[in-house]
Amino acid sequence: MDKSIGSGEKGGEKGDGSIFPLRVDRKIEPSPFSLKNRIKGLLSILVLSALLLIPECAAAKSKAEFQKGICYVTWAKSRYLSGASDESLKELAKTGAKWVALTVNWYQDRCDTTDIFSTEKTASDASLIHAIEVIHSLGMKVLLKPHLDLVDVTSGGWRGEIACVTEPDWEVWFNNYANFVLHYAEIAQKHKVEIFCIGTELTQAAAAKEKLWRTKVIAPVRKIYEGPITYAANWNEEYSQVGFWDALDYIGIDAYFPLSEADNPNLADLKRGWEVWVKDIEKLQAKVNKPVIFPEVGYCSAVGTASTPWTEITNTSVDLELQANCYKALFETFWEKEWFYGAYWWRWGTDVRFGGPSSKGYSFQNKPAQDVVTEWYKKNRQVKSKY
């Protein structure tokens, strides 16, 4: 969705098997090197080794965590370094959020070009690393989410339409894209980022070039970054067409599904609107057997947002209640789904004054929807370690 504005124990024991001479006129004591004691010693070491390994195995099996998330983004080089950003992150933490999807933006000129580059709208590495450190210091975890957008959108294109005409061009594009993503995978590994996202809403590229994703992106990322990885597929047909979910740890869907054609649907209408989409998501999840997260989801606080959640609405009136009800509908629909592992709400700004009751935008800061998020994020939500 185009909304740009501006993831061997060692042990061992050694014995020589010696048998010492025994006197018949004294009580026989078992030799410490007897076969029986050697077996007992070996068993003790094996049990101890197993106990030491249990936490490690359990951690590996339960690495998939439920994510009470919020998206945090800037389109400025040094904004994450500011005191205002630090203060905003402190306020974000008060919602009960435990995860932050931290976004960094790179660009290419048009849908059919192959060069990928940073601009003044790209957060510097120092800025990004500072934000990671602040988030961690506040007791939250990070999903690092690199975005690729277009410089020239005069023809109406967006990242989902990025595509090449020839195979050589696809090779060049993927080489450049891999360089972009691997740079952030290195930062993620070095700074203990908990989840890394390998891409966002690249609909044409994701659907058409599965092999190149596996060889050029996923395999190299796995060599650098040791944590779980995901991909953020668009809500439309893309998430069902991605062929490399099996190579990832989470199915990621940017969940801007239309819920109602009405301008002012009520909560019951919105929950009914989810029914058809839940069935589709469950079908995919059952096939892939991976937990599902929404790396991005949100609604404007404006009339009509339920019909086109992917659109930044500017031509209707403010509707704070509708935005809050859209949030409630998602929580009430998905919270208890066994396979659902959390959502990241788009978006929280880098200033505590962001949003507010007169704003029609996506931000839920200083709006009733913030209270909805806080209410749900204060609840306990456990997950099973089946994934």
Query: pLDDT tens digits for 117-133?
Result: 999 999 999 999 999 99
- For residue 383, what pLDDT is reported? 83
Structure confidence at residue 46 as a pLDDT band (50, 70, 90): very low
Structure confidence at residue 304 as a pLDDT band (50, 70, 90): very high
Q: Show the beta-strand stretches assigned E in 31-183.
A: 67-72, 99-108, 141-150
Distance (Å, whole) CA 384 – CA 11: 32
Distance (Å, whole) CA 200 – CA 346: 14
Structure confidence at residue 328 as a pLDDT band (50, 70, 90): very high
Nearest to 367 by CA among 382, 353, 355: 355
- For residue 155, what pLDDT is reported? 76
Residue listed under structure tokens 């094996």: 46
CA dihedral 228, 231, 232, 233 (to 10 degrees): -150
Nearest to 161 by CA among 205, 114, 199: 205
User: C-alpha angle 206/235/124, rounded to 5°?
Assistant: 65
Tokens of residue 243, six digits: 């062929």
The per-residue pLDDT for range 348-385, each reduced to its tens digit, is: 999 999 999 999 999 999 999 999 999 999 999 988 76
Please state the φ and ψ torsions of residue 32, each to the nearest 5 degrees. Answer: -65, -15
pLDDT above 70 covers a percentage of the chain that reads: 83
Please list, in sequence order, all residues whose beta carbon lies within 8 angstroms of the beta carbon of residue 94, skipping any fewer than 6 positions away.
374
Checking if the pLDDT of 20 tops 80, the result is no
Q: Are 292 and 254 in contact (CB under 8 A)?
A: no
Q: Are 301 and 258 in contact (CB under 8 A)?
A: no
Give the residue-averaged pLDDT of 258-270.
97
Distance (Å, whole) CA 297 – CA 254: 6
- For residue 1, what pLDDT is reported? 59
User: C-alpha angle 331/382/246, rounded to 5°?
Assistant: 85
- For residue 384, what pLDDT is reported? 74
Q: Are 72 and 89 in contact (CB under 8 A)?
A: yes
Mean per-residue pLDDT over the chain, rounded: 87
Structure confidence at residue 31 as a pLDDT band (50, 70, 90): very low
- For residue 386, what pLDDT is reported? 76
Give the residue-averaged pLDDT of 308-329.
96
Tokens of residue 274, six digits: 């989810």
Checking if the pLDDT of 160 tops 60, the result is yes
Question: What is the dotted CATH code of the domain comprising 69-377?
Answer: 3.20.20.80
Tokens of residue 110, six digits: 């048009």
Inter-CA distances, 153 with 1, 156, 158, 274, Å = 14, 5, 7, 31
Tokens of residue 153, six digits: 């959108």
Give the residue-averaged pLDDT of 326-339.
97
CA dihedral 325, 329, 331, 334 (to 10 degrees): -170
pTM score: 0.85
